[in-house]
Amino acid sequence: MSFQERLKKLRVAKKLTQEDMAKLLGITRQAYGYYESSTNQRETDHEATKKLANFFDVSIDYLLENTDNPDPIDKDEEDFQKAINDPDLKRWYSELPKSSEEDLRKLRKMWDIIKNEDK
């Protein structure tokens, strides 16, 4: 599905007009119509693309056809995925569920101490 098709589908699902979307972006209805046009006479700029993604609660990657998953990436999830790709952290994380409850409590106390050192 193209950018134009995705944009139109998202707008229609919210029962909004092109005029509504134009007001949201601070552009004319005709300019917004070009965003949905199959001839794509006008492309969105970075700021408009970001506004659209935030408004529709989808990822920019979804709008730009880099993924078929519309869900925005959670920053915490993205950070977690980066961390889990570190072999040492991955090993630690995979062993964590096997730990005893007492060890987990100790770990939690150590974590609280570390976090409070920053304050």
- Residue-level pLDDT at 117: 77
Helix 18-25 vs helix 46-56: angle between axes, to the nearest 10 degrees?
120
- Residue-level pLDDT at 75: 60
pLDDT tens track for 66-86: 888 777 666 666 667 776 677
- Residue-level pLDDT at 39: 73
Pick the CATH number of 3-63 from 1.10.10.10, 3.10.310.50, 1.10.10.60, 1.10.260.40: 1.10.260.40
pLDDT interval class at 118 (50, 70, 90): low
Residue 119 pLDDT > 70: no
Name the segment(s) of the chain with CATH classification 1.10.260.40: 3-63
Instruction: Compute the C-alpha angle 110/112/118, nearest 5°.
Output: 110
pLDDT tens track for 4-53: 899 999 999 999 999 999 999 999 999 899 888 877 656 788 888 999 99
DSSP per-residue codes, 4-16: HHHHHHHHHHTT-
Q: Are 5 and 68 in contact (CB under 8 A)?
A: no
- Residue-level pLDDT at 3: 87
pLDDT tens track for 91-111: 777 788 888 889 889 988 988
- Residue-level pLDDT at 78: 66
